[in-house]
Amino acid sequence: MPKAQETILEIDLGALSHNFKYLKSKLQPQTKFLAVVKAFAYGSDSVEIAKHLQKLNVDYFAVAYAKEGVTLRDAGVTKPILVLHPQPINFETIIEKCLEPSIYSAKVLNEFIKVAEEHAQTNYPVHIKFNTGLNRLGFLENDVDFIVSKLKATKSIIAKSLFSHLAASEDENEIDFTHQQIETFKTIAKEFESKIGYSPWFHLCNTSGVLNYPEAHFDMVRCGIGLYGFGNSAEEDENLKPIANLKSVISQIHQIEEG
């Protein structure tokens, strides 16, 4: 029997390729590209999106939760996957599936070290998140010494990167604030690098950061909404192609009398 499909979400992989290449063209050759595919790739299809971007040689992926990363791994995605909001209950799964957690608090740091040591890990990659103004998740600038001391006291994990998130990189009224965030992040990065004794990657820019603040691209950028066709400005939207098209049918129309 034919399958009834009254509502269909179409994903244009050609448009996705265009957006990826356009955003990547804004970067220096050595700058890595992380694709954010959290929340079903912003309501589309994270597996198909990730598999296509993997073919285009994207460097990294990011998801919100461990189970999203597990879904990608089980579908054959082999590129590194950053888990932005890991939960301690999933730390064993994160290690089992070779996912890389964001470490944003002392509690998360201590608990992940404990699990990593219990599983005999050496230099397991983690990503240290700092709060530079968004005020969501992240260590503060004065936590650097604490983090460095914890990392030096264990061989189980290594800081693959330091990162933060721009709060208003799309807002022309917040340029001064964004520059302040960039400078704060640079200060943290410099202090951390000098004290830890090696050079992790640094990343700060989201899609709007990529388009508006090229001086802050650093070692890697994280693009989400831009990949799906939106540049956070009317001017940049002209250069991007929306990848999703939701189609449905009108099953019936009633003419209802008043009363």
| Closest residue by Cα to residue 211 from 169, 176, 182, 165 | 169
Confirm whether 255 is domain-assigned. Answer: no
Confirm whether 254 is domain-assigned. Answer: no
Cα dihedral sign for 102, 225, 61, 42?
A: positive
Distances (CA, A) of 184 to 60, 104, 130: 25, 17, 10
* Main-chain dihedrals φ then ψ at residue 251, nearest 5 degrees: -75, -35
Q: For residue 59, what are the domain limits?
A: 9-171+183-245
Residue-level pLDDT at 3: 64
User: What CATH number corresponds to the domain at position 222?
Assistant: 3.20.20.10
Confirm whether 46 is domain-assigned. Answer: yes
Residue-level pLDDT at 174: 96
Confirm whether 145 is domain-assigned. Answer: yes
Confirm whether 3 is domain-assigned. Answer: no
Taking the chain (259 residues) in runs of 10, the rounded mean pLDDT of each run is 75 97 98 95 88 98 98 98 98 99 98 99 99 95 98 99 97 96 98 98 98 98 97 88 92 90
CB atoms within 10 A of CB 178: 23
Q: Which residue has the tokens 């740091």?
A: 109
Give the whole-angstrom CA distance, residue 12 versus residue 64.
Answer: 23
Residue-level pLDDT at 234: 84
Number of domains composing the chain: 1
Residue-level pLDDT at 1: 62
Confirm whether 234 is domain-assigned. Answer: yes
